Amino acid sequence: VTTLPLRLRDHPTAGVLCVNDSGRFFATSASFVDRVLEGRCTTDDLHFLDREGHLLRDDDAFTKLAHLYALSKRIVQPGSLDYLILVPTLRCNLSCSYCQVSRAGLGQPGFDWSEATLAAVLGRLDELPGERIKIEFQGGEPTLRPDLIRAVIARCERFLERQFVICTNLQELSADILEIFDRPDVFISTSLDGDAQTHARNRTADSAATQRFLANLNSLVARYPAGKISALPTIDPMAPPDVDALLDSYATLGLDSIFLRPINFQGFARKRHRGSREQQENWRAYYRRVVRRIIERNWEDKSRILEETYFSICLRRIFHPGAERHVDLRNPNPMGVDYIVVDHDGIVYPTDEARMLARSGVIDLSIGDVFNGWNGTARDELNRCSTNQFDPACQRCAYQPYCGRDIVDDIARYGRIDVPRTDTEFCRRHLHLFDFIFELIYSDDPAARYSLARWLRLPATPDQYGITHQ
Amino acid sequence: LIQSDLICQLSQAVDRPSFNPTGKLGGQLTDRIRCEVGSHDQAIAIHAAEWVSRFYPDVSARAHIDYVELESDRRSPTQLDQLWRTVLTNERLIVEGAASRASLLTDLMA
């Protein structure tokens, strides 16, 4: 018996895209599809399919084994816990209209880690078996509690590889915080919504606070080497900033990556930005314009390379199976295994979005707490559904090997996880994104090819990224 | 590899003053094709028709006993024909490969 482990997609520009279950792909013509459909494959067709590993015969153990190996690279095998998002405080000194976590007021008591919570977190860190650790401090505004950040960092000295990311609005820069930032294993992540006007409208509400933020950001950019600071915008699709103004605001600060995020349907945004539940065509068109403009700018000035972070993540998922560990796009997407979120009260969530849902009062998806652990039935229940492997739509989708599963996103938007996959924003977003990526993969535009090579971290630009079979 | 007695025929382009495969204006002109389905393909064709509009929202499909109708205001008849053949082939590969895929996944998970 011979099988073709292929899935087909009628692509807007590349013809018909054929993707193997393990992610190998080629573009082809309608005539090849006809030959397959009508059982008229030529010797040349069969030779091509065989050579490229698309033909599985029952009597060919070697090809089957090779296919199994390639398939396994597409399936996440989570290691031990080594990535934690910690929320030492939910208090914040800003009040953004789309705050995803419905932050607490600056002076509100009861929203910081207690002594007991800190002790329990440190105890959990001591138990971790691995030699690597990545900790992201989220909030609220975590820099309101430098003492808690310092305590955690000090407890992680035993790890051979350490990385700490402090997600901050950079409204205040105390000497205390600068001392923490100065550590080479500390990285800074902030929000920059575009030019000063856009940033003020979305976040700070007044120009003095915006100027303070920009002054702080500029001083840190001058103080630290490239790569130490990253920023990402939250964009209101109903009023997106001018593309070049947005890119300029990043480029002039020496920031090379920009993670375009529409308003997340979480926290305050659920009420104040109801339209953010579904991203409409105008957002997707804006996204394409930004990426296209980035490509043009990279081609015009080759001295520096800008990238859209999520585009690059998805691109690398196509070509480098297993290399990306972006926790929002994995298959399966293991919950509470290699990555957890610890909230201000010690409650443990499988993802940051799960924390946001609980905070919004939508649903409690907590899986435990730092005092008693999180390896229970709640976690197992979530993990039973965290794969795209058996979904009937995903089984028919050419992009399944590259895609993932995010049940928390489904719950956030629809209140359930059994909505037909193709009706979900997650699916629509990724269908659009992978269509766009393959449009560029099969583009003849040298500027597009140049940027793709840089985003794939290749030393040179290849002649082609994808093969074609006529 | 695969045998098929499906015959797809372009039937008609309706409500269109002229044929313009590259410059369609969304919402203004609707193209419709009718694809005959052979008896061996009926079950697969019905499933395939169900998936068309899910993966290609600009296209609607209606399955009848021995034919499928597709229509779109963004695609020409030729494009609709190619789309249908692609979706049908995809569905066929999914159905024919289901057992093999399940077996491979079982091997992997073991």
Per residue in A171-229, pLDDT (tens digit) is 999 999 999 999 999 999 998 887 777 877 777 777 888 899 999 999 999 999 999 99
CB A429 within 8 A of CB A436: no
Distance CA A85, CA A340 (A): 6
Whether B108 and A72 lie within 8 Å, measured CB to CB: yes
C-alpha distances in Å from residue A279, one per residue of A238, A259, A261, B26: 10, 16, 11, 20
| pLDDT tens, chain A, 470 aa long | 788 899 999 999 999 999 999 999 999 999 999 999 999 999 999 999 999 999 998 888 898 899 999 999 999 888 999 999 999 999 998 877 767 666 788 889 899 999 999 999 999 999 999 999 999 999 899 999 999 999 999 999 999 999 999 999 999 999 999 999 999 999 999 988 877 778 777 777 778 888 999 999 999 999 999 999 999 898 888 888 899 999 999 999 989 999 998 887 666 556 665 665 556 788 899 999 999 999 999 999 999 999 999 999 999 999 999 877 788 899 999 999 999 999 999 999 999 989 988 988 889 999 999 999 999 999 999 999 899 988 999 999 999 999 999 999 999 889 999 999 999 999 999 999 999 999 999 999 999 999 999 999 999 999 999 999 99
Distance CA A381, CA A426 (A): 21
Whether B85 and A72 lie within 8 Å, measured CB to CB: no
C-alpha distances in Å from residue A237, one per residue of A205, A243, A363: 19, 12, 26
What are phi and psi for residue A76, nearest 5 degrees?
-65, 130
Residue B75 has pLDDT above 90, yes or no: yes
Question: Burial, A425: exposed, middle or buried (Cβ in 10 Å; 0-12, 13-18, 19+)?
Answer: buried
Whether B2 and A36 lie within 8 Å, measured CB to CB: yes
Distance CA A16, CA A59 (A): 29
Number of residues that this document lists for chain B: 110
A10: CB partners within 8 A, 6+ apart: A16, A17, B56, B82, B83, B86, B87
User: Coil, helix or strand for A278?
Assistant: coil
- The larger pLDDT score, comparing residue B52 to residue A106, is at B52
Q: Is B54 on the interface with A (CB under 8 A)?
A: yes
Shortest Cα–Cα distance, A8 to chain B (Å): 5
Question: pTM here?
Answer: 0.90
Beta bridge partners of A276: none
All residues of chain B having their beta carbon less than 8 Å from the beta carbon of residue A8 are 86-87, 89-90, 93
Whether A2 and B1 lie within 8 Å, measured CB to CB: yes
Whether A8 and B86 lie within 8 Å, measured CB to CB: yes
Q: Is B2 on the interface with A (CB under 8 A)?
A: yes
pLDDT at A267: 61
Chain A residue with the nearest C-alpha to that of B109: A72
Whether B82 and A68 lie within 8 Å, measured CB to CB: no
Shortest Cα–Cα distance, A7 to chain B (Å): 6
Chain A residue with the nearest C-alpha to that of B110: A72
All residues of chain B having their beta carbon less than 8 Å from the beta carbon of residue A7 are 90, 93-94
End-to-end alpha-carbon separation of chain B, Å?
A: 30
CA-wise closest residue to A163 among A142, A187, A180: A187
Shortest Cα–Cα distance, B11 to chain A (Å): 19
pLDDT at A456: 97
CA-wise closest residue to A293 among A241, A227, A239: A241
Beta bridge partners of A186: A164
User: Coil, helix or strand for A145?
Assistant: coil
pLDDT at A280: 75
Beta bridge partners of B60: B71
User: Coil, helix or strand for A397?
Assistant: coil
Whether A41 and B1 lie within 8 Å, measured CB to CB: yes
Shortest Cα–Cα distance, A111 to chain B (Å): 43
Q: Is B93 on the interface with A (CB under 8 A)?
A: yes
Whether A4 and B100 lie within 8 Å, measured CB to CB: no
Locus of tokens 């905070």: A359
Alpha-helix residue ranges (DSSP H) falling in A343-445: 352-359, 377-383, 392-395, 407-414, 425-441
CB A371 within 8 A of CB A122: no
Distance CA A429, CA A422 (A): 10
CA-wise closest residue to A348 among A150, A193, A121: A121
